[in-house]
Amino acid sequence: MRETATLCREDRIQLDRELASQLTGAGDRRIADLARKIGYRLDPGAILRRDHKAEADRRVTIRPAPDTMSNVTGLLPVARGVAIYACLRKHAESQRAQGDPRTIAQLMADTFYQRLTGREAAGGDVEIQLVMSERTLLRGDPEPAHLVGHGSIPAFLARRLVRDFHRAWIRRLYTAPTSNELVAMDSTRRAFSGKLRQLLVLRDQWCRTPWCDAPIAHADHVRQARRGGHTSLANGQGLCEACNYTRETPGWRADIITNQSHVVEITTPTGHSYSSSPPQQPGDPPRLTLEQRFRRLLDDVA
């Protein structure tokens, strides 16, 4: 299906006929390759147009992996991708031949990091955004930290990241004692930028649309600027690119229900509503106000 998406109906029928006689014993990858090969022959122009569009979508992405690892992926034209892999492998094999005890895979990964950053090991002045409590940083507390772009990491790894980097900056971001929210910040500009955008990303961590856990790509107004919304932390939210563009289509609406925990209600074109709130920040659990304690007591009695 993927390999024939750009072909016309007649060419897809012809491809099916030719492919049917070659399916015996073929795995998924082999079938896809056969379909691609036949499609190239039937309509070279369609394949070329698809390849040009795919090349325009080249990008680098990062996704968290198990055991505090990450997947950094580069989507590149095939010639560039093959060249990168061949170069890394050739260097790794050369190092192994000279007696390096690391495996080929380890050498390729280390060389990949070294050639991109110009450093042998983690260090230097590259800023990574790591959120942790002062107890985790200074007192050996086991409370996990949050690494922007990855997610939760254990306390010992957070301290090791700070220790291993050649230079580390500590930026104090205070939370409200009753809600554990990051402090507010406003801007006179329409766009979220600079420290205000960083603070918004640190607060939301992932796309705020319910059930979407994509990395934040856009800092967006909850109440749009054209509706009178201010460029402030209270009226901002982090969204992935797809969710932000979807929200601009007719019928979608977002409103702030409460500022205390920054609960945002999203209403879809079908009239359904869903609420969204940012993850709790590292640190002490939020302390309840007297009114909140009284309401909780009444709920327990009821």
Mean per-residue pLDDT of the chain: 79
The per-residue pLDDT for range 74-93, each reduced to its tens digit, is: 988 877 888 898 899 999 99
On the question of pLDDT at 72 being above 80, the answer is yes
- Comparing C-alpha atoms, which of 186, 169, 183, 176 is closest to residue 231? 186
Give the per-residue pLDDT at 109: 92
- 65 and 35, same structural domain? no
- 216 and 231, same structural domain? yes
- 79 and 35, same structural domain? no
Give the per-residue pLDDT at 206: 85
Domain that holds residue 267: 200-276
Q: What pTM, to 2 d.p., does this model score? A: 0.43
277/153 Cα distance (integer angstroms)? 21
Q: What does the pLDDT average to over 240-248?
A: 89
Among 42-51, 92-101, 112-121, name the most confident range.
Answer: 92-101
- Count CB-CB contacts under 10 A for residue 85: 12
On the question of pLDDT at 126 being above 60, the answer is no
On the question of pLDDT at 69 being above 80, the answer is yes
For the chain, percent of residues with pLDDT exceeding 70: 78
Strand 253-258 to 236-239 pairing: unpaired
- 74 and 28, same structural domain? no
**Is 186 part of a structural domain of the chain?**
no
- 204 and 272, same structural domain? yes
* DSSP conformation letters of 185-233: -B-SSSS--HHHHHHHHHHH-S--STT--PPP-EEEESS-GGGT--SBS
- 111 and 88, same structural domain? yes
- 221 and 262, same structural domain? yes
- 72 and 44, same structural domain? no
Give the per-residue pLDDT at 128: 64
Give the per-residue pLDDT at 178: 59
Q: Are 233 and 203 in contact (CB under 8 A)?
A: yes
Which residue pairs, CB below 8 angstroms and at least 24 apart, start in 61-67? Answer: 61/215, 62/149, 62/150, 62/215, 64/150, 64/151
5/46 Cα distance (integer angstroms)? 10
- Between 182 and 209, the more confident residue is 209
Give the per-residue pLDDT at 172: 60
**Is 296 part of a structural domain of the chain?**
no
Backbone angles phi, psi at 258, to 5 degrees: -150, 140
**Is 211 part of a structural domain of the chain?**
yes
Tokens matching residue 92? 């790794």
Among 6-20, 87-101, 208-222, name the most confident range.
Answer: 87-101
The per-residue pLDDT for range 12-66, each reduced to its tens digit, is: 899 888 888 888 777 888 888 888 888 878 887 776 677 677 778 888 888 888 8
Q: What does the pLDDT average to over 268-292?
A: 75
- Comparing C-alpha atoms, which of 37, 41, 21 is closest to residue 29? 37
**Is 234 part of a structural domain of the chain?**
yes
Give the per-residue pLDDT at 105: 92
The per-residue pLDDT for range 155-202, each reduced to its tens digit, is: 888 888 777 766 666 666 656 555 666 555 544 555 666 777 888 888
**Is 298 part of a structural domain of the chain?**
no
Give the per-residue pLDDT at 27: 81
Report the domain count for the chain. Answer: 3
On the question of pLDDT at 7 being above 80, the answer is yes
